[in-house]
């Protein structure tokens, strides 16, 4: 019996200057602040849940990625599967879980990307309704991680973590969905010389959010490192920019959704630029370069 995911829950980033990054993610990116933790971490949301992004002070990059499970039984199934595969699973103490406004929370360290993965079932809802500001962000969409153990990582994500491959581009990158969540990918794994964070994605409501963002970022000297364009694997219209630390973040509009049953087979696209962008736009070499991974 396989465990089932609800969705990508949130991403926690380390940033060098909390105040500077908070201003970016609120006023230019369009997230809503929602208080702070006892250790000073800052919460942001783009929907009814308490948070979808958490900022900590540290070396710029990924602190952890968190997944919401469908039920407590699924949380137990996943923990048992990890332990049977020889991985340590840590229960987050009640004080920290309460600080995160979450129920029972587990973590483990992925040996192939070095990323800390967190799992929970329940999260407190925000006190006020979600009201979009500069962008109608719908949800946190996905995260892409770099790994120097690409094929081993793919096998682990399939066989142990119960992710399904939606598409791949050669042996360069694979797009995986957390089953049975329908969106084309909630994580990407890219073949690299070292582990790290490549980018974090937020999905917006309409293509105009991408267009308005393009000019808002230009006017505020935010580096645009790819886009606008359209990804052939998922069909998403995209725009990638750099946050104040140089971490890559993405807006996307539109994405293929998969049925739980009888989903199509994944495709392997050729490793050429046209497999990344139908519109054949340039890519700034700074894309995906900043993103240390904090070890558990």
Number of residues that make up the chain:
296
> Does the global pTM surpass 0.75?
yes
Neighbours of 24 (CB within 10 A): 22
CA dihedral 279, 285, 289, 290 (to 10 degrees): -100
- Collect the ranges in the chain with pLDDT lower than 70: none
What the block records as the tokens of 212 is 């308005």
Neighbours of 71 (CB within 10 A): 13
Mean confidence (pLDDT) of the chain: 97
Q: Which residues pair with 168 in a beta bridge?
A: 174, 268
Is residue 60 within 8 Å of 249, Cβ to Cβ? no
* Per-residue pLDDT reduced to its tens digit, 39-98: 999 999 999 999 999 999 999 999 999 999 999 999 999 999 999 999 999 999 999 999
**For the chain, where are the alpha helices, taking DSSP H only?**
18-23, 72-84, 94-99, 150-159, 207-219
DSSP 153-190: HHHHHHHTT-EEEEEEETTTEEEEEETT--BS-SEEEE
Q: What is the pLDDT of residue 1?
A: 85
User: What are the start-end ranges of the E strands in the chain?
Assistant: 5-15, 32-36, 42-45, 53-57, 61-69, 90-91, 105-109, 116-120, 137-147, 163-169, 173-178, 187-191, 196-204, 224-230, 237-242, 248-253, 267-269, 292-293
CA 36 from chain center: how many Å?
21
Is residue 120 within 8 Å of 78, Cβ to Cβ? no
- Provide the phi-psi class of 30: left if phi over 0, else alpha when psi is between -120 and 50, else beta: left
Q: What is the pLDDT of residue 30?
A: 98
What the block records as the tokens of 259 is 């049925």
Which residues make Cβ contacts (< 8 Å) with residue 60, sequence separation at least 6? 13, 14, 15, 16, 245, 246, 247, 290, 291, 292
């Amino acid at each position: 019996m396989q465990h089932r995911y609800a969705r990508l829950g949130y991403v926690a980033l380390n940033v060098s200057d909390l105040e500077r990054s908070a201003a970016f993610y609120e006023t230019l990116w369009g997230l809503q602040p929602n208080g702070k933790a006892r250790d000073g971490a800052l919460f942001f949301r783009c929907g009814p849940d308490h948070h979808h992004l958490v900022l900590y002070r540290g070396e710029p990059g990924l602190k952890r990625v968190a997944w919401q499970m469908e039920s407590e039984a699924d949380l137990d199934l996943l923990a048992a599967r990890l332990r049977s595969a020889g991985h340590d699973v840590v229960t987050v103490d009640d004080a920290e879980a309460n600080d995160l406004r979450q129920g029972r929370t587990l973590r483990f360290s992925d040996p192939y990307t070095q990323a800390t993965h967190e799992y929970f079932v329940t999260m407190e809802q925000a006190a006020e309704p979600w009201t979009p500001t500069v962008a109608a962000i719908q949800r946190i969409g996905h995260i892409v991680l770099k790994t120097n153990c690409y094929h081993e990582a793919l096998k682990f994500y399939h066989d142990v973590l119960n992710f399904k491959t939606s598409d791949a581009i050669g042996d360069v990158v694979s797009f995986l969905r957390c089953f049975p969540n329908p969106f084309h990918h909630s994580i990407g794994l890219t073949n690299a010389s070292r582990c790290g964070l490549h980018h974090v994605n937020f999905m917006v409501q309409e293509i105009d959010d991408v267009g308005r963002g393009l000019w808002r970022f230009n006017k505020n000297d935010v580096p645009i490192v790819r886009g606008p364009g359209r990804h052939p694997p998922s069909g998403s219209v995209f725009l990638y920019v750099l946050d104040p630390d140089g971490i890559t973040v993405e807006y996307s509009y539109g994405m293929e959704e998969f049925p739980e049953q009888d989903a199509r087979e994944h495709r392997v696209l050729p490793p050429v630029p046209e497999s990344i962008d139908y519109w054949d736009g340039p890519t700034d070499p700074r894309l995906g370069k900043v993103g240390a991974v904090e070890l558990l």
